[in-house]
């Protein structure tokens, strides 16, 4: 085991990714995962289409959804062959990108300063803690009143949820840094700004990326809420419209698409984190074996 | 017998810098409230270049003394001098942390996000006095001297804890400090690694004569490394007994089995046990 861990610790980039994929395929994990997914699909198929249990009979069935999803000429107007499908995905992704970018660019520095300066913390944090528990849905009316059009309110709502998660985790990250590190930096002659740059920022990095993971998750959550209320495009809008128009298979298509895009974006965030924290990846790789 | 002053053991370390004088230092935590006295009228005189071992039960206030010298917190009264310059005292109760006194921490404080080499160059790079190339050349040479070749580009988390400690000492020595302050640096190591580390530390010490202020509760470690043991009373902390270790340097591990070592061990053990018992009865955590 020690030789494989050494190998893993020496590799970087693509080689490391390929190595991880091959070990993953050799482990029982992917097969257990397939069994899990298959189990849920089987229940769906049996409950709705075979047994037609009460309360399930109106639901779109598995075969109905799959046929609609891959239909070049979809009955309800949305499948992987229709350009609108990609317009909706694109618009949702764009909103996520704007909101996530803004939340990161504003939230990380704010969190760093909240953790670093006690005075700043006392000044800002109580206000922050008052605003944070307000559910995103409660912001919907204000967002619509404050911003014109349908685009900015949705981006604002998405941003807000992400922003709180990122800021709070970054602040916790700074507070979690062992005092020995800052003391060592001062001993070694670093001034305040150098300590901030070389100790506080990298020291908080693991928490920052945990925050960004949460942030991208809640971004999708509030995006769909926003799109259902005030959007004209986007996956939340697709689901809501399909509901009011009684085109049920489209609801499920929207939901599956959200699952996949959400998974892809949060994997991207995790990969960015691994890329920026090689020290941590290597440390954890050794710890695993 | 062992308390005869300055035997020729110390005379071979002809170092003029790095003398620490602690004069009548008192430290009271929370003077207006609980008023816990950590250090009680403590006076210690450490000549430059000495390895001075501060021995005492855990929680007795040894670290408080170290933190005062390092400048991490202030003292309530008294004075501390480094080479006759006031570090802290009346009018300036907290010393300014500086690269002339570098701490090697209890749990190690190498930055895990920097490679070993980047850690070693940290001090001089922050200082910015030397060019980048000069700093890196010096760092590579010092790491090679300390037997750290091959670990330069690993992260601290990837090497053994023994190697990590060595990297940390080299990082400190890069700035040519007058004093190294050790806060029980080897307490988390197993006894085998510990013995290797002790020899490595002496090795580094013989090459770079600095004053070493070393806190420990391990008596064997204290006698093996030190020129002198200062055994502290349990809280509040003040020197209770001074033991001169007249075993000549350079030392290696054969010292541990020598009769003189055993004698010194016996002599110190009684005092230490008595203090540990007192601390235990007072409800301090034993460790």
A18: exposed, middle or buried (C-beta count within 10 Å: 0-12, 13-18, 19+)?
Answer: exposed
What chain B residue is nearest to A276 in terms of C-alpha separation? B113
Within 8 A of B101 by CB-CB distance, chain A residues are 187
Nearest residue to A185 via CA among B131, B219, B102, B17: B102
Q: Do B109 and A203 touch (CB under 8 A)?
A: no
**What mean pLDDT is predicted for residues A41-70?**
90
What are the residues whose beta carbons fall under 8 Å from the beta carbon of A258, sequence distance 6 or more? A220, A224, A235, A239
pLDDT at position B111 is 94
pLDDT at position A131 is 92
Q: Which A-chain residues 9-38 have CB contacts (< 8 A) with chain B? A: 9
Q: Do A178 and B109 touch (CB under 8 A)?
A: yes
Within 8 A of A194 by CB-CB distance, chain B residues are 126
What chain B residue is nearest to A10 in terms of C-alpha separation? B154
Of A181, A190, A279, the CB nearest to B155: A279
Q: Which two tokens stand for residue A19?
A: 């190595």
The SS3 assignment for B29 reads: strand
Of B99, B113, B157, the CB nearest to A188: B99
Report the Cα–Cα distance between both ends of chain A, in Å, rounded: 6
Within 8 A of A198 by CB-CB distance, chain B residues are 111, 114, 122, 126
Nearest residue to B13 via CA among B45, B48, B44: B48
> Chain B interface residues facing chain A, Cβ-Cβ under 8 Å?
70-72, 97-99, 101-103, 105-109, 111-115, 122-123, 126-127, 155, 157-158, 171-172, 175
Q: Do A283 and B99 touch (CB under 8 A)?
A: no
Q: Does the CB of A205 have a partner CB in chain B at under 8 Å?
A: yes
Its pTM stands at 0.82
Peptide bond into B236 cis (omega under 30): yes
Digit-by-digit pLDDT tens for chain B (287 residues) are: 344 444 444 444 455 688 889 888 888 887 777 778 888 888 888 988 899 999 887 767 788 889 899 989 888 888 899 988 888 888 888 888 888 889 988 888 999 999 999 999 999 999 888 899 999 999 999 898 888 888 999 999 888 888 888 899 899 989 888 899 998 888 777 878 888 888 888 888 888 888 999 998 888 888 888 899 888 887 777 788 888 888 888 888 888 888 888 888 888 888 888 877 777 777 654 43
Beta bridge partners of B242: B230
Of A189, A203, A282, the CB nearest to B157: A282
The SS3 assignment for A77 reads: coil
**CA gyration radius, chain A:** 23
B115-to-A280, B40, B127 alpha-carbon distances in Å: 11, 42, 19
Of A188, A202, A205, the CB nearest to B122: A188
pLDDT at position A281 is 83
Which one has a higher pLDDT value, A92 or B28? A92
Rounded Cα gap, residues A177 and A200, in angstroms: 7
**What mean pLDDT is predicted for residues A248-260?**
94
Q: Which residues in B110-144 are b (16+ Cβ under 10 Å) and which e?
A: bbbbbbbbbbbbbbbbbbeeeeeeebbeebbebbe
What chain A residue is nearest to B126 in terms of C-alpha separation? A190
**CA gyration radius, chain B:** 19
Contact indicator for A102, A159 with CB cutoff of 8 Å: yes
Q: Does the CB of A200 have a partner CB in chain B at under 8 Å?
A: no
C-alpha torsion B97→B100→B106→B112, nearest 10: 80
- Average pLDDT over chain B reads 83
Of A184, A191, A282, the CB nearest to B103: A184
| Residue B210, H or E segment | none
Is this complex's ipTM strictly greater than 0.85? no
């Amino acid at each position: 085991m020690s030789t494989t861990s050494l190998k893993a610790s020496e590799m970087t980039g693509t080689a490391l990714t390929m190595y991880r994929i091959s070990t993953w395929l050799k482990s029982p994990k992917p097969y257990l995962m397939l069994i899990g997914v298959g189990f849920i699909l089987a229940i769906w198929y049996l409950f709705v289409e075979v047994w037609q249990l009460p309360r399930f009979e109106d639901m779109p069935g598995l075969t109905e959804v799959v046929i609609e999803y891959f239909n070049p000429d979809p009955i309800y107007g949305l499948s992987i062959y229709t350009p609108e499908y990609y317009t909706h995905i694109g618009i949702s992704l764009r909103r996520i990108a704007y909101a996530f970018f803004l939340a990161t660019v504003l939230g990380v520095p704010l969190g760093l300063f909240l953790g670093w300066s006690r005075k700043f913390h006392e000044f800002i944090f109580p206000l922050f803690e008052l605003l944070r528990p307000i559910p995103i849905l409660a912001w919907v009316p204000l967002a619509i009143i404050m911003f014109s059009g349908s685009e900015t309110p949705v981006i604002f709502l998405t941003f807000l949820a992400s922003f709180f998660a990122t800021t709070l985790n970054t602040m916790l990250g700074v507070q979690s840094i062992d005092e020995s590190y800052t003391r060592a930096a001062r001993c070694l002659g670093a001034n305040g700004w150098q300590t901030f740059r070389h100790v506080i920022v990298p020291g908080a990095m693991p928490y920052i990326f945990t925050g960004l993971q949460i942030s991208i998750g809640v971004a999708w959550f509030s995006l769909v809420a926003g799109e259902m209320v005030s959007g004209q495009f986007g996956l939340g809008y697709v689901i809501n419209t399909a509901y009011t128009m009684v085109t049920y298979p489209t609801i499920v298509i929207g939901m599956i698409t959200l699952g996949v895009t959400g998974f892809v974006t949060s994997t991207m965030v995790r990969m960015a984190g691994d890329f920026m924290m090689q020290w941590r990846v290597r440390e954890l790789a050794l710890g695993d074996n | 017998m062992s308390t005869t002053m300055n035997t020729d053991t110390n005379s071979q370390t002809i170092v003029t810098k790095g003398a620490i004088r602690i004069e009548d230092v008192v430290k009271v935590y929370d003077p207006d409230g609980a008023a816990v006295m950590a250090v009680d009228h403590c006076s210690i005189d450490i000549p430059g270049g000495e390895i001075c071992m501060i021995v005492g039960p855990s929680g007795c206030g040894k670290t408080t003394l170290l933190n005062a010298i390092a400048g991490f917190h202030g003292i309530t009264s008294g004075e501390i001098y480094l080479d006759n310059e006031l570090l802290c005292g009346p009018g300036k109760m907290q010393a300014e942390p500086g690269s002339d006194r570098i701490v090697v921490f209890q749990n190690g404080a190498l930055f895990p996000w920097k490679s070993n080499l980047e850690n070693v160059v940290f001090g001089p790079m922050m200082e910015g006095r030397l060019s980048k190339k000069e700093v890196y050349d010096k760092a590579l040479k010092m790491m090679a001297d300390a037997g750290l070749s091959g670990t330069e580009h690993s992260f601290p988390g990837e090497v053994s804890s023994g190697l990590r400690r060595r990297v940390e000492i080299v990082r400190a020595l890069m700035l040519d400090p007058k004093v190294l302050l050790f806060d029980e640096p080897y307490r988390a190591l197993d006894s085998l690694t510990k013995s290797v580390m002790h020899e490595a530390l002496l090795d580094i010490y013989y090459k770079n004569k600095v004053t070493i202020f070393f806190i420990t509760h391990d008596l064997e470690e204290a006698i093996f490394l030190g020129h002198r043991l200062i055994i502290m009373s349990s809280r509040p902390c003040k020197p209770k007994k001074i033991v001169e270790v007249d075993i000549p340097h350079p030392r290696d591990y054969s010292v541990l089995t020598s009769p003189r070592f055993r004698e010194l061990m016996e002599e110190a053990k009684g005092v230490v046990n008595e203090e540990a018992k007192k601390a235990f009865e007072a409800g301090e955590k034993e460790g």
